[in-house]
Each structure stands twice: as C-alpha cells, then as structure tokens.
Amino acid sequence: MVVAVDGYSSTGKSTVAKLVAKKLGLMYIDTGAMYRAVTYFALKSNLFNGEKVDEVRLKELLPNVTVSFMAEPSTGKNLTCLNGECVENEIRGMEVSNRVSIIAAIGFVRQFLVEQQQAMGRVGNVIMDGRDIGTVVFPDAQVKFFMTASPQVRAKRRYDELIAKGDSVTYEEVEKNVLTRDYIDTHREVSPLVQADDAIVVDNGNMSIEENVELMVNYIKERSNGN
C-alpha cells in the first residue's frame, strides 16, 4: 500500500505522517529531506553562486549522489544520509532551507529523486510525504491526503516553533516566508504543488495532532478493508 501525503509547508505533514506510520506499521519516507540532501550536496560542492546553481556541473555529479535513510539506534528517529554520511542536522539549517526551492525546481533533479522514491514505494507499505506524491510519484496511490490550513495558522505554528528554539524572528517575517514558499511551490514549472483530484483534503487549522492522526488512520483502515 502507498499512502501519499501532500500539501503546503508547515501543515504538519511529517509530524502526522510519522505518527500514522507508527500506528499502522508503514515505512515513512520524507521526500523533502531528499531535496534538502541534494541541496546540501550542491552547497558542499560549491555549485551555488548566490541564487544561481551550476546546473551543468550538478547534472554531471548527480549520478554519484546517494540519499538514504537510517534509523537512529537509540531513538528510532529517521536520519537522512548523503553518500552514507548522516546529514540530518545540516539539511534542516537555514543555509539549506533558503536554497532548497531552487534545487527542487530543476527537472533533472526531480526525475532523479522521483525514480528513487518510486523504487522505495515498490519495496513495501509506505507513507510518503511531499508535494507531488499523489500527482507524479504515485498517481495510483491507494490513499491520498492533501493537507492544508490558512497561511496565518501555519505562520503562527512556525513562529512558535522558532521562538521555542530560541530564534529571534517576528511573526510578520515568518508569515511573509510562508506566503513566499506557497507561491514558489504552486507556481514552479516542473511538478507544482497541486491537489490530486482524488485526494482527501484535510484542513487541520482547528484540529489537534491526535485528531488529525486518528482521522487519517481511520480512513486508511477503511480503504484497506476495501470500502
């Protein structure tokens, strides 16, 4: 079974998908982490010049890039690896976050990662979160969710997270960043974020994480029973 979880940034896709995976014994795959790992690779290989990336060189080097996941022995947390080396912390930093949408808009990078995601999905029962899972990676997925919430709700969540981490940001800055990312994700030429026709829309603006997980678990169980 493949469960596709797409939607806007800061809708809690990964938090909820991980919990659903645990409850139902599915393998969780974070496809955003794969785009982040390639971005980190491009940074480490000095392929960025400001906002521009050397696409010719990236295309040459990409066949040598392996992105994989490993469970941390003590916590079971999923860690992202680049050519066998754990880069989980590096890919979550601002340097990567500020450039990942540039890498995610390159057609040959998407093709390279989509093939790997499709191979992972063929191996077993997976829940995969991203932007194009139900539309491009697995258009025939048995269950598709599209997660959304108002930009203000999402900006407030992100703002609270950053403040809790000790970052000094204003709510206005964060809201602007959320709106910019929405615009880039929905307007890029290759595989823009769109809702699949057969996706279940989950607006979790007024939902707790537990309610959100329960709704999805129940729906997946119904579908796997053939309803």
Could you write out the DSSP letters of every residue in the chain?
Answer: -EEEEEE-TTS-HHHHHHHHHHHHTPEEEEHHHHHHHHHHHHHHTT-EETTEE-HHHHHHHGGG--EEEEE-TTT--EEEEETTEE-HHHHHSHHHHTTHHHHHT-HHHHHHHHHHHHHHHHHS-EEEEESSIIIII-TT-SEEEEEE--HHHHHHHHHHHHHHTT----HHHHHHHHHHHHHHHHH-SSS-----TTPEEEE-TT--HHHHHHHHHHHHHHHHTT-
Q: In angstroms, what is the minimal distance from the CB of 215 to ligand DC?
A: 21
Q: In angstroms, what is the minimal distance from the CB of 155 to ligand DC?
A: 14
Q: In angstroms, what is the minimal distance from the CB of 203 to ligand DC?
A: 18
Residues touching ligand DC, count (CB under 6 A)? 12
- Counting contacts by CB under 6 A, is residue 31 touching ligand DC? yes
Q: In angstroms, what is the minimal distance from the CB of 34 to ligand DC?
A: 7
Comparing CB distances to ligand DC, the nearer of 9 and 212 is 9
- Counting contacts by CB under 6 A, is residue 106 touching ligand DC? no
- Counting contacts by CB under 6 A, is residue 32 touching ligand DC? yes
Which of 37, 104, 109, 196 touches ligand DC (CB under 6 A)? 104
Residues of span 9-28 touching ligand DC by CB under 6 A: 9
- Counting contacts by CB under 6 A, is residue 36 touching ligand DC? yes
Which of 45, 68, 101, 148 touches ligand DC (CB under 6 A)? 101
Cβ atoms 56, 106 nearer than 8 A: no
- Counting contacts by CB under 6 A, is residue 157 touching ligand DC? no
Q: In angstroms, what is the minimal distance from the CB of 192 to ligand DC?
A: 9
The residues binding ligand DC (CB under 6 A) are 9, 31-32, 35-36, 100-101, 104, 130-132, 185
